[in-house]
Chain A
Amino acid sequence: MPEPISKETVVKVSRLARLSLSPEQAEKMTTQLVGMLEHFRDIDALDLSDVEPMTQPYPLNNVMREDVEAKSLDRQEVLDQAPAAESGRFRVPPTIGFDV
């Protein structure tokens, strides 16, 4: 298992998750994650080298439907629920030109 999670890693992960944690929140989150990950070390002792990972409980593959026209959601009804919409599209703030 890796080293205990650091506050720097927590801040980095929060950026990946698009969460802006305050320094106090990052501090508290670090303490809690360290505790949890410590508890999760119980699986370290297991030899899992020959074990196949299990990604889903029921083996269904390549589920397709017939290639026929079907009704989709009403565009206006969907856009009515968006925080901002314009001319049949979702409206978002500028995506470039600022510090990301």
Chain B
Amino acid sequence: MQKLVEIVAAVSSGSKTAIAVVEEHLARINERESEIHAFNLVTSDQARKDAAKIDEDVKSGKAVGALAGVPIALKDNMCTRGVETTCSSKILQGWKPPYDATVVTKLRNAGAVIVGKTNLDEFAMGSSTENSAFGPTKNPLDVSRVPGGSSGGSAAAVSAGFAAASLGSDTGGSIRQPAALCGVVGVKPTYGAVSRYGLVAFASSLDQIGPFTSDVRDAATLLEVISGHDPMDSTSIPQPATSLVSVLDHGVKGMRIGRVTDLPEGCEPDVLARLEAAFDALRVAGATVVDVKLPSLQYCLTAYYLIAPAEASSNLARYDGVRYGNRVDAADLNAMYAATRESGFGEEVKRRIMLGTYALSAGYFDAYYGKALKVRRLISDDFARAYKDVDAILTPTSPSTAFKFGSKTDNPLAMYLCDVFTIPTNLAGHPAMSVPFGVGSDSMPVGIQVLATTMGEQAMFKVAAELERAS
């Protein structure tokens, strides 16, 4: 894995060309992509052109951006003008968006070189990429195991060295869990910190875009570029991007780190052992570990799997065979809608649309969706109480290391349980990130999750940087 900050330094100083950097990454893609399947589309020609342009700018002494020459992969649910964007769904196969997502514009303006669109669980619904309509992505560290999901392709692309960094989206853990399973850094920023204009919506009160990188400094650098207010996204926080790189060497002396005493059960012992080692490392570095209680955490899964499908059932109503994507012809409009959606959506997407439609339907709204929104408030209140006493909280990112293909596909609930530690922050709207911290009993990476309160990215990054130094 090549570091993003090293590439920027080399390319902008002229000691290495952007085209050479891109060719190195394309060579690795060429070598292993048929085995890994991280991408739905590799945009080699455009990447070479973009890199050549950066080299020209460097040569002629023009200013280059903060990501000059960095090969970056995009999850295939982010709109790229004129370049196929599928969400790994048959219903959108072949669709070429008429505009770029704000994050894509920001990356391009900063000199990044986009190398392709990565595979995901269809419409970002899943925890293993096994729900992709185009086949699963393999974990580059052990191809018999899943890379996690839903941003599995983005995590695998960084882990395999296909790109120096990538972007994913995280609705219930879809950046952090695959980051943990593939041994890379993954960040879900505060809700509203990164514009979602041009991100295909799954659950709008939960979705957030964030980076995958090989280390914490790269993640801070990339997040600084993509953050900040965007008038095109009405949920965008009207504040400038938080400075993150500047705090990485601050250490954690005097910081208070929360240890959740009522963590939901079901975590593997080898993962819990790494969590304890992480607390020890932070103590050694001068932090204080404080016990906190989050009693409503046990209800997170229920709240999430009612709220997210409810929002999804509404968001995915737009795939009706009229304005974009694919259509299955039928005699009248209603029959066309049903035939199009029946053939275009995969099993998990249909399951969530059904669950969401049911939770929102007359007679059931109060019992399910209404109640879930109240539970969401309890969870948020629990966190608010805890953050009076601590600056950050540590939990495992995932209850286990990367699991084998097929081991959870027959039981949707077992798959949903993968998200038990990552869901709470989406419900609260807080930032959280996964940092690799050693390996489990199967020698696969373990990710430790660092959580902080709304706009608490600086505290989160200080702790993450310390864990990286200690690992």
- The residues of A with any CB-CB pair to B shorter than 8 Å are 1-2, 5, 9-10, 13-14, 16-21, 25, 29, 32-33, 35-36, 39-40, 42-43, 46, 48, 51-58, 60, 63, 65, 73-74, 77-78, 81-84, 90, 92-100
CA distance A92 to B323 in the complex (A): 10
- Identify whether the interface residues of B are mostly helix, strand, loop, or mixed: helix
Contact B338 A20 (CB under 8 A): yes
Query: In this assembly, does B336 line the interface, its C-beta being within 8 Å of a C-beta of chain A?
Result: yes
Query: In this assembly, does B443 line the interface, its C-beta being within 8 Å of a C-beta of chain A?
Result: no
The one of A17, A35, A40, A94 that contacts B368, using a Cβ cutoff of 8 Å: A40
Contact A19 B429 (CB under 8 A): no
Closest Cβ–Cβ distance, residue B126 to chain A (whole Å):
15
Closest Cβ–Cβ distance, residue A1 to chain B (whole Å):
6
The one of A55, A92, A96 that contacts B205, using a Cβ cutoff of 8 Å: A55
Q: Considering residues A10, A77, A90, which has the most beta carbons from chain B within 10 angstroms of its beta carbon?
A: A77
Query: In this assembly, does B237 line the interface, its C-beta being within 8 Å of a C-beta of chain A?
Result: yes
Q: Considering residues B298, B357, B380, which has the most beta carbons from chain A within 10 angstroms of its beta carbon?
A: B357
Contact B234 A63 (CB under 8 A): yes
Q: Which residues of B contact A100 (CB under 8 A)?
A: 332, 334
Query: In this assembly, does B110 line the interface, its C-beta being within 8 Å of a C-beta of chain A?
Result: no
CB within 8 Å of A: which B325-345 residues: 325-327, 329-339, 341-342, 345
Contact A94 B331 (CB under 8 A): yes
CA distance A10 to B364 in the complex (A): 13
Q: Which residues of B contact A14 (CB under 8 A)?
A: 354
Contact A43 B339 (CB under 8 A): no
Q: Which residue of B lies closest to A12 (CB)?
A: B361
Q: Which residues of B contact A5 (CB under 8 A)?
A: 358
Query: In this assembly, does B428 line the interface, its C-beta being within 8 Å of a C-beta of chain A?
Result: yes
Closest Cβ–Cβ distance, residue B353 to chain A (whole Å):
5
Closest Cβ–Cβ distance, residue A52 to chain B (whole Å):
6
CA distance A60 to B298 in the complex (A): 28
Count A-B pairs with CB separation below 8 Å.
169
Closest Cβ–Cβ distance, residue B232 to chain A (whole Å):
9
Q: Which residues of A contact B353 (CB under 8 A)?
A: 17, 19
Known contacts A54-B380, A74-B98: A81-B354 contact under CB 8 Å: no
Q: Which residues of A contact B231 (CB under 8 A)?
A: 65
CB within 8 Å of A: which B341-389 residues: 341-342, 345, 350-351, 353-355, 357-358, 361, 363-364, 367-368, 370-378, 380
Closest Cβ–Cβ distance, residue B139 to chain A (whole Å):
27
The one of B235, B323, B361, B370 that contacts A90, using a Cβ cutoff of 8 Å: B323
CA distance A46 to B96 in the complex (A): 47
Query: In this assembly, does B77 line the interface, its C-beta being within 8 Å of a C-beta of chain A?
Result: no
Contact A51 B333 (CB under 8 A): no
Taken residue by residue from 198 to 220, chain B's Cβ proximity to chain A (1 for < 8 Å, 0 otherwise) reads as 00000001000000000000000
The one of A17, A43, A82 that contacts B372, using a Cβ cutoff of 8 Å: A43
Q: Interface-forming stretch among B114-122, B242-250, B299-307?
A: B299-307
